[in-house]
Structure 1
């Protein structure tokens, strides 16, 4: 799906669906009626790197009675979400396993669309600890982390070297370089994903989190955004556009547009997912060999990223829930997770892979990404996440375009989120 592209090819939000039927929201998927073994359907948003088919061929060769059919949904996370929600709401069982954006777990679990899973069937202790939290709701495991992601600050290391300036660790250092150094080299200063869509929700949440704030608490029941930290974070983004070190063109950027701007040599700094580092370092990039990556900066030091990636969940109406759980265990095994990285350029959830010397030589950003993931936080958890995200996008975009002050925007966002949280 788009978040694995956009959470990092990264929001390439994948959706896998396995068949099976659960009679109770507290019953584990593999113990449900219809919880046996048999063929499966795996639905995913567009697999842009083409890595997933070969992974599933390996499963199909060794599990002839449990063959998986891959169904690719639209590239766009919003379109994939809409199609999945429509099918699941109707009780459709054509998808067995859902590879869902990490931000959707709470919504799908609260709606009863996905089944709780037995923790002992999956190697959760082998995963990077923060990613497991994205797969839980109300204290239960409703999915298994498959791909993770964290935002990085990409920068032109050749330009900073000429200026004898270290990569920025704080917002003030980022602003100063974006405002004073970038114009000397004919570059724009800084960009992220600022079009009003899911990417802006991510960028806004990162700014709020980095300033020490939060947006929601208690699984979406408590609104916490009306704070000094939120005003500081949203103010940082709005100030950048107002002062010009964030170009107005960036207000139209999604992941790919921002990557292309950086890769074509038009930006000094870019917030994006690791896939953009891989692409910008490739042979066809105009900035190949000139790209560095560090954790996102914050007000007084390294900031905080939002966790991206996708989780594998079992449709509560899946036909073969035991096979679904077995497939998820296969896709999260060490061997397959290694291929997720080497074939798909997607960040794995297995912690040990980030310290593998061979992988670090091939993917030099892995240590930085590991540090970013370990300090990252999920997007606001809510059973009405789609509505929460739309509110954040609209309000923050108005602040960045100057239609509202950051202070007024935060007050408005608090009112809108309170209204969403009190809806039935």
Structure 2
């Protein structure tokens, strides 16, 4: 592993010219002439100035590489339409692919990770053989270039780097295993954890099986803007590490005391609760026992567009599933993980049921009966007056929620 090249840092804001020049210089010296390059980028649920970044990448590589493909890392999110892609990417580029995770022919088989190795990586929390499948576009290019932001993340610690492969453009098996491993550790324990967490180690193990050379432009975005604090370029591990260190200084807000209530105001980039749940993950650590998190998102009308199973099982703490594992083990573990991540800390007893630390309330466009059936609280979004909450000393209102992690000092 090499040391990443870095421009910017915490407290700095880069100009567009600085961004473009840095990307041009780094890619010029990366030995890419005549090689085929697959550029892996985030979908619209991640914020960064992607049009600026892609324009700089295209300018640096067009005509120099033998083939240039852009692959959108959907994970298991909804497909982006042609018009959405044009806006998201900042123009019409040739060879743009959605990660079509719903089609078996999308994937190439890279091998398996053995139960012993999974046990070693996971501190024996899991012992399963896991097939490693990846979008074949990555495998069919000489170089895989990840371009995307790094933020505190509920499953892996900090997002970015090899996470753009797994789960970004991966098969369901690694997605399920990695997310369930994160759920076993718990979101509040792993989110914003620096360095290599067990989930990150699992992702890196899978990524080591990719035959393409793996490079990354890992960016640290100024949340809520189209600006960047920093960019790191190098292999997918060193560049991610450099960006994660800056993200830890930039994307974490520390409070002196727990709060009784948080209102997370969710921006439109989160189209369902599957993605808008980040408004809970990022504030769970600061909510007092018995407190409440309100996800205020009038634009959201469904729990999970791509994962209807969540309506059947609802939202529950980790121990609810572990205590009844035979009942739930055959469902997608990624869905179980999402369920526990949004419900937060709690316990389950076969006699007395579920005991949850924090109440989760949806103030969304989802019908009340759907919300309550999913084991969540309901609030009519039309009745929400943010000014009243802002004046309440027991309430913290978080605008543009979902990216900045809140922790207690």
Give me the TM-score of the superposition, normalised by structure 1: 0.26
Structure with higher strand content:
2
**Higher relative helix content:** 1
What is the TM-score when the length of structure 2 is the normalising length? 0.27
